[in-house]
A and B are shown apart, each in its own frame.
Chain A
């Protein structure tokens, strides 16, 4: 008797442990193989861009915290840089360095969580995740020291940062910088050449260089496809041009490369942190700006290399104390542009891994 399989329509999410939040996919599968997929967005659409239009410039900073909530310092930084560009505000040297330190610590947190949940999706249920969580908690403590919050820091201000580093911060950071390389080696011993990891992620979900560029992919996903594009190098902001670091790239653009790029970026972030700590100048940390200040009429776009890719803020000012329009160039949303190309033709179980390797944050996808 001849057997034939019918195409089945299934629904993944939005309440699903592998979707990193509330993402949803409607998939057509033939047997185990995905034949077509439709991503559905909007389950966390909170209207941040509209709410920003009703708040004063400074009140928007806490809103930006909640975009990519695993890296709120980065969001603060990008937003403050855009407003500073708009109004021509100078940032004191010490604050520039502090901002870099915070941004790199956030990148480490985000990459640790990204790698951890990627392995969760692969089936190493929570073991690597909890190893990485230990370090994440250590960084959280550091950031709590400076900001008083554990997750949404709201630390940066126009013209600097809200207050100076507390005394115990730098010794604690140095301690962390001493310990962390050994921790990364530990993850590598556990995972790098693990047979299952290799079998499940090598050559899976390949994203070609051309497709990545055409689909506006950015961040580690773009670099894993072999494109050497890092805004910290291509368009240096803050004081990144004074540091010595490399931009890791992959060659195949598969899930394994994306994981490797993130691990290498952890090492590079540690390098940057070491240099920033040793060069940290003395002085004031903020050029105060009036609470309800009014930037001149105009517009500004400013971008940073966020943890997930190019994070940009486009701000239009009409001269009042509220932004006329604020747009967030959200790397998480755009990194999904090529999702269908990456998923179609793979088995459902691979789809979960491929999706995990993109590492999105729903707060930023839906905004």
Chain B
């Protein structure tokens, strides 16, 4: 069984590097803001006993008040998982640091989110549309984009 990492373990490994006000827990997920995202990923990727070496998926959700980017990590070595959420309250110019330098698997998924949600990933090596063509009007997966247009 792939188990969810418990709060104690996460707290234990994060407390030296990240201040405890920068992240919180919501049911099974860790919620943070874009400023501490990369730091948290770096720590969790290498912390002994945690070693989240596999980024399973990155996706985004358009909530009325904010964009939420959801990361799902596994550790292949220890067979546990972690869901990490980053909220981005600025709906006009959403941006979030890219974790592609850490996890190559994030590359296309971040481009996909950029394409379909319009969230910019700062310092992504090649932030261009992936599915739609350059100059396509709008970002279809946003809620204000009609379904049948």
Binding site for B on A (CB under 8 A): 41-42, 45, 47, 49-51, 53-54, 211, 213-217, 227, 229, 234-236, 301, 303, 310, 312, 314, 316, 324-325, 327, 329, 333-334, 336-338, 366-367
Contacts and interface: CB of A to CB of B under 8 A. Distances in A.
Nearest to B129: A42
B20 to A, nearest CB: 25
A207 to B, nearest CB: 12
Contacts of A217: 105
Contacts of B105: 214-217, 334, 337
Contacts of B130: 41-42
Contacts of A51: 147
Contacts of A53: 147
B61 A214 contact: no
7 contacts: A50-B116, A213-B53, A216-B55, A216-B106, A316-B61, A329-B57, A334-B109
Interface of B: 1-2, 53-57, 59, 61-62, 70, 72, 76, 79, 83, 103-109, 112, 116, 129-133, 140-141, 145, 147-148
Given A41-B108, A216-B56, A337-B108, 15 more contacts: A41-B131, A42-B130, A45-B132, A50-B141, A214-B53, A214-B105, A216-B55, A216-B104, A227-B76, A235-B79, A236-B1, A316-B61, A327-B57, A329-B56, A336-B108
A53 B62 CA distance: 12
Nearest to B54: A213
Contacts of A334: 57, 105, 108-109
B94 to A, nearest CB: 16
B111 to A, nearest CB: 9
Contacts of B2: 234-235
A234 B79 contact: yes
Given A216-B55, A234-B79, A312-B56, A49 B148 contact: no
Given A216-B103, A227-B76, A338-B104, A314 B70 contact: yes
Nearest to A227: B76
Most buried by A among B62, B79, B109, B132: B109
A209 B13 CA distance: 26
A49 B60 CA distance: 12
Contacts of A45: 131-132
Given A50-B147, A314-B70, A214 B104 contact: yes
Nearest to B62: A325
Nearest to A312: B57
Nearest to B29: A299
Nearest to B53: A213
B74 to A, nearest CB: 8
B61 A215 contact: no
Nearest to B100: A337
A47 B112 CA distance: 12
Contacts of A329: 56-57, 59, 72
Nearest to B149: A50
B104 A215 contact: yes
Contact of A216 (B1, B54, B59, B148): B54
B108 A333 contact: yes
A235 B1 contact: yes
A234 B54 CA distance: 14
A337 B105 CA distance: 6
Contacts of B54: 213, 216, 229
A147 to B, nearest CB: 28
A338 to B, nearest CB: 7
Contacts of A312: 56-57, 72
Nearest to A333: B108
